[in-house]
Structure 1
Amino acid sequence: MPRVTRFAALTTAALLTASLAACSSPSSAGTDASSTDGAFEPITIEHALGTTVIETQPERVATVNWANHEVPLALGVVPVGMAAANFGDDDGDGLLPWVEEKLTELGAETPVLFDETDGIDFEAVADTDPDVILAAYSGLTQEDYDTLSEIAPVVAYPETAWGTPWREMIELNSEAIGKKAEGEELIADLETQISDAAAEYPQLEGTSAAFLTHVDTADLSEVSFYTTHDTRAMFFDDLGLTTPESIATASATTDLFALTQSAEQADAFTDIDIIVTYGGDELLTALEADPLLSQMPAVANKAIVALPGTTPLGTAANPTPLSISWVLDDYLALLAEAADKA
C-alpha cells in the first residue's frame, strides 16, 4: 500500500497519539525549545504554501527535507525526527559528519531518521508525535504541506521551492521553535566566520562563478546550471564572488532553481571565470575534450572546482547552519585555486 494511503488510514490514530503525547512529559529529544525569557507568544508565519499559526511552545520538533534539522540542533534542540542524509553520506549512517558531531556534543542519541528516498514518509513523521514540523528549506508540494499539516503546524519555504537562503532558513525555523533571538545570534556568528575566512582569499573578490548541475559525461549536448534562485549560487555572493551576467539574465525570467540550454550556445558563457560542479577527473577530461564546451574560458583555463558528490565535501557548496563552519576553509581553498587559473 502506498505511503499516503497507509497514512490516511492511520491519521486519526496518529493524531490521537500526538494529542496524548503533548499532555505527557516531553521526550528528552524534544526539550529545550523555549525562548530566552521562558515566555512564548503565539507565532504566525506566512509562507508560499499558506499561513502557519503556532499557539504554544513546541517541545517535540520534527523536520523534513534537507538540512532543516540543523537549525534546532545548532540552537541546542534535538529533533524527535528528521530526514536521513541522502547526499554526501559517505558512511551510510544517514548523518552528515557535522550533524553527528553536534549530536555528540549535545549528548543526544540519533533521532528517528525519515527515509525520503521515495518522498516524505508521512506515517513515520506522524509516529514521532511532533508539535511542529520545520521545512523552511524544502521542495514541499501543496499536497505534501496539506498532509503534514494534519499532523502538526508546518513551516514551509517563504517563496521558492529549494530556494530559501541559509539566513532565512535559520530565521523561520528558529522563530517557529521560540528561539528567534538565538537564531539571529547564529546568523551573525556565521556571517563573521564567512567574512573572516573569505578575507584570506582576496583573489575571489570580483571573480565570476557559475555552478553547473550534475554533468552527464556521456551526453554533453546540453549544459545545465543553477540559477540565482539556488542557494549554491547565492553562497557565491557571501564569499566575494560575482554572478556572471549570462547567468543573471537567464535567471531573471524564471523562478526555477536550475536551467538547461544547448551546448551549441556555450559561447554565452564567456563571462564565467570559474565553474563549480560535481564530479572528478573523468568529468574534467570530458569537458576539456568536448569541441564546444572546451571553448568556455573556465574550461580552457582549467578553472574548475569539481566537488565529489559522494562525500561530505560534495555538500560544501550548499550552505547549511552546521556545515558552513565544517567545510568553509576547504571550499574557499578550492575556489581560490580555480580563481588563480582564471
Structure 2
Amino acid sequence: MSRPLRAMTVAAAMSTALVLTACSSTETPADAKGGDESWTPVTIEHALGTTTIEEKPERVATVNWANHEVPLALGVVPVGMASADFGDDDGNGVLPWVEDKLEELDAETPALFDETDGIDFEAVADTQPDVILAGYSGLTQEDYDTLSEIAPVVAYPETAWGTPWREMIEINSKAIGLAEEGEELVKDLETEIDSAVADHPAIKDMSTMFLTHVDPSDLSEVNFYTTHDTRAMFFEDLGMQAPASIQKASDETDQFSSTVSAEQADVFDDVDIIVTYGGDDLVTTLEDDELLSQMPAVKNKSIVNLPGDAPLGTAANPTPLSISFVLDDYLDELDKAATAAK
C-alpha cells in the first residue's frame, strides 16, 4: 500500500473510531479518559523524537517484538499486540509465556497484529489506543510518524532492535504510568537470574558468541550477533563474557550483527562456547567443514544449538516474561557446553 493511501486509510479508521466512541459513551466527565487528576504528563525522549503522554492511557497497544510483555507483567492487558511469528509452538500467534500470563490475569487474547509485511496501521488504529508501546523495536521514522497519527508512540531509546530487556521495561512502564512497578519488576528478574546462575558455576566467565541462523549450504562466512544485540547482551547477565574477538568486531559497527570470512575463522580462537539456532545436523555440518571445524568451540563440541522455531530458541532473546519461562533450560544447555569446553 502506498504511503498516501495508507495514511488516508489510517485517518478513516481513526475517524470511525472517534465517532463510535462518541456515540456509545455514557461516561460522566469524571470517569472519562483524562479524569484521573493524579496523572502527571509523561515525556519520553527516544531515537525517533520526543513523546508526551498528556493523559493516563487506558487503552494500551504495542507493536513489534515483546513490548506487550511489559504491561502484561505489570497486570495491564493490551488492547492489541503483534502476533508471534517466531517460536510459536501451537500456531495461535501467542507465545506460551504470554498465554500463561493471560490465563493468570483471566484475560482474553488481545487483538493480534499481523506484522509479516510490516506494521498493520489500520489494525492498530482499530483498537483505539491511547498509547502505542515500541520500546524494543525496529520502527522506521515513517512507521513512527504514521503511528503517531493514531496515538502517542514510544520508540526505542537509541538503536533499532538494540534495547536491553531492562530498558524495554523502563521505557514502556514509564509510558503507562507504572515506572516504579517497572523498577520492581527489573529487580525481581535480576534476583531470579542471579539465583539460577548460582546453580551453574561451570559457565562463569566463559567467553561465548552467538552465531546467527547458519546456512548449511554456504559456510563461506561466519555471521554472528554483536554485543549490540540483546542475545549477546544476555550472556553478561548469566555470568559469561564476550570474547575479545566479538568485542573488537562490535566496536567497529553499530549494527546488531556482523560477518567474518570463514578463512579468518581463527580469529575466534578465544571463543569457549558457541550458541546458535539449528539441530544436530547443523553441528555435524560445522564439524565437517575444513575451516570452521578448527574453531575450539567446534572441536570441543561446546555448542548450544537452540531450536530456532521453538520457545527455547525464541527466548534466547530475553524478554520480561520469557526469562522466567526458559531460564533453567537455557542454563542447563549452556552448562553442558561449558563442561565440554573444559
Query: In the aligned structure 2, how far is the partner of 1:152 from the partner of 1:7?
Result: 16
Q: Look up the match of 2:330.
A: 331
- CA offset digits 1:130-161 (Å, max 9, x no partner): 11000000001111111111111100000000
Query: In the aligned structure 2, how far is the partner of 1:201 from the partner of 1:69?
Result: 31
The alpha-carbon deviation at position 70 of structure 1 amounts to 0.2
Q: Look up the match of 1:188.
A: 187
SS of 2:270 mapped into structure 1: coil
Q: Answer yes or no: is 1:115 the counterpart of 2:111.
A: no
Query: In the aligned structure 2, how far is the partner of 1:241 from the partner of 1:210?
Result: 10
Query: In the aligned structure 1, how far is the partner of 2:175 from the partner of 2:20?
Result: 20
Query: In the aligned structure 2, how far is the partner of 1:3 from the partner of 1:181?
Result: 41
The alpha-carbon deviation at position 306 of structure 1 amounts to 0.2
Q: Look up the match of 1:158.
A: 157
- Residues 18, 130 of structure 1: 8 Å contact kept: no
SS of 2:40 mapped into structure 1: coil
TM-score (norm 1): 0.94
Q: Look up the match of 1:14.
A: 13
TM-score (norm 2): 0.94
Query: In the aligned structure 2, how far is the partner of 1:301 from the partner of 1:105?
Result: 43
The alpha-carbon deviation at position 204 of structure 1 amounts to 1.1
SS of 1:338 mapped into structure 2: helix
- After superposition, residues 129-168 of structure 1 pair within 5 angstroms as 129-168=128-167
- After superposition, residues 1-342 of structure 1 pair within 5 angstroms as 2=1, 4=3, 6-19=5-18, 39-342=38-341
SS of 2:271 mapped into structure 1: coil
SS of 2:71 mapped into structure 1: helix
* AA at the equivalent of 1:116: E
The alpha-carbon deviation at position 282 of structure 1 amounts to 1.1
Give the paired residue count. 333
Distance 1:267 1:127, change over 3 A: same
- Residues 270, 296 of structure 1: 8 Å contact kept: yes
Distance 1:4 1:114, change over 3 A: farther
SS of 2:305 mapped into structure 1: strand
The alpha-carbon deviation at position 39 of structure 1 amounts to 2.3
Q: Look up the match of 2:29.
A: none
- CA offset digits 1:49-105 (Å, max 9, x no partner): 000110000011000000000000001111110000011012110000000011111
SS of 1:264 mapped into structure 2: helix
Distance 1:202 1:6, change over 3 A: same
The alpha-carbon deviation at position 6 of structure 1 amounts to 4.5
- Residues 287, 298 of structure 2: 8 Å contact kept: yes
Query: In the aligned structure 2, how far is the partner of 1:21 from the partner of 1:203?
Result: 60
- CA offset digits 1:204-247 (Å, max 9, x no partner): 11110000000000110001000000000000000000110000
The alpha-carbon deviation at position 25 of structure 1 amounts to 5.9
Query: In the aligned structure 1, how far is the partner of 2:11 from the partner of 2:96?
Result: 37
- Residues 64, 83 of structure 1: 8 Å contact kept: yes
CA-atom RMSD, angstroms? 1.8
User: Among the aligned pairs, what percent are the same residue?
Assistant: 72
Unaligned 5+ residue runs, structure 2? 27-32
